[in-house]
């Protein structure tokens, strides 16, 4: 039998994506399903983060508008302490809570108050950044590992294809091509999962960094305001003592 007769006699392979998936080995199928699941998880995180970042940006804009409007800090603290806060509002509430705690005892000393307020602001920023960054590690993990997992599926699929070729003793391209296409599909799915994960991880990390810089700037400004208040109270105590 000449090669043309072999090709004609070979069954037509289903080279659609679904057909290649169904014809792949069990291990390669599991790898493909795992990569698709990882991709879906990444997209869920991406959508969730964009919703969270949008609401955080709006909340911070509203807070800054109210904070710099001249409203009393006591009134603003009373309003915000009764609701759930995010971003700068959380920094403000935490610092004001420490500020008010220092006045609960009669004759309370202002020694170390500014350092405590700075610490509260730093801890609040760290907590807010941690909330914003939560689950971004999943995107980084998928971006770095998905291509290699897909490559493993491809290598395994090629090995399976070559074993089938050896068993059938038929090296016709029409026989080899379907198996190779099925194997390469795993790499394609790995890249499909990794590329968006990498792009959005970098993008979202940049947004988090801008939020952090914005909160740190507010913390510095608010710390200066409280520092002036501390100096005012200390000066008043010295005048009364004199």
CB atoms within 10 A of CB 189: 25
Q: How confident is the model at residue 157 (pLDDT cuts 50, 70, 90)?
A: confident
Q: What are the pLDDT digits (tens) for 82-132?
A: 888 888 999 999 988 888 887 766 455 566 777 888 899 999 999 999 999
Burial class of residue 183, CB neighbours in 10 A (0-12, 13-18, 19+): buried
| pLDDT tops 50 at residue 3 | no
Beta carbons of 149 and 31 less than 8 angstroms apart: yes
| Residue with the larger pLDDT of the pair 47 and 234 | 47
Can you tell me the distance from the alpha carbon of 52 to that of 156, in angstroms, rounded to the nearest whole number? 40
Domain boundaries, the chain: 27-60+72-234
- How far from the centroid of its chain's Cα atoms is residue 130's Cα? 10
**The model scores a pTM over 0.85:** no
**Distance from first CA to last CA of the chain, Å, rounded?**
116
Q: How confident is the model at residue 241 (pLDDT cuts 50, 70, 90)?
A: low
Q: What are the pLDDT digits (tens) for 39-78?
A: 999 999 999 999 999 999 999 999 999 888 888 888 888 8
Average pLDDT, the chain: 82
Q: Which residues contact 166 (CB under 8 A, 6 or more apart)?
A: none
Least confidently predicted of 130-144, 153-167, 170-184 = 170-184
Q: What are the pLDDT digits (tens) for 195-222?
A: 999 999 999 999 999 999 999 999 999 8
């Amino acid at each position: 039998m000449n090669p043309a007769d072999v090709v004609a006699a070979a069954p037509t392979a289903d080279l659609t994506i679904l057909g290649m998936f169904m014809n792949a080995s069990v291990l390669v199928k599991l790898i493909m399903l795992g990569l698709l699941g990882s991709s879906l998880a990444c997209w869920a995180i991406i959508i969730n983060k964009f919703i969270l970042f949008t609401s955080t940006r709006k909340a911070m804009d509203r807070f800054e508008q109210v904070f710099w409007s001249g409203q009393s800090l006591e009134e603003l603290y009373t309003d915000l302490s009764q609701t759930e806060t995010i971003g700068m509002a959380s920094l403000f509430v935490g610092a004001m809570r420490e500020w008010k705690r220092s006045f609960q005892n009669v004759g309370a000393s202002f020694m170390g108050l500014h350092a405590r307020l700075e610490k509260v602001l730093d801890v609040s920023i760290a907590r807010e950044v941690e909330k914003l960054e939560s689950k971004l590690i999943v995107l980084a993990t998928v971006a770095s590992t998905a291509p290699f997992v897909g490559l493993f599926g491809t290598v395994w699929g090629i090995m399976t294809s070559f074993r089938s070729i050896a068993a059938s003793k038929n090296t016709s391209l029409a026989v080899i091509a379907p198996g190779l296409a099925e194997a390469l599909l795993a790499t394609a799915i790995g890249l499909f999962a990794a590329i968006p994960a990498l792009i959005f991880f970098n993008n979202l990390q940049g947004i988090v960094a801008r939020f952090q810089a914005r909160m740190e700037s507010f913390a510095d400004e608010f710390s200066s305001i409280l520092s002036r208040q501390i100096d005012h109270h200390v000066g008043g105590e010295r005048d009364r003592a004199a």
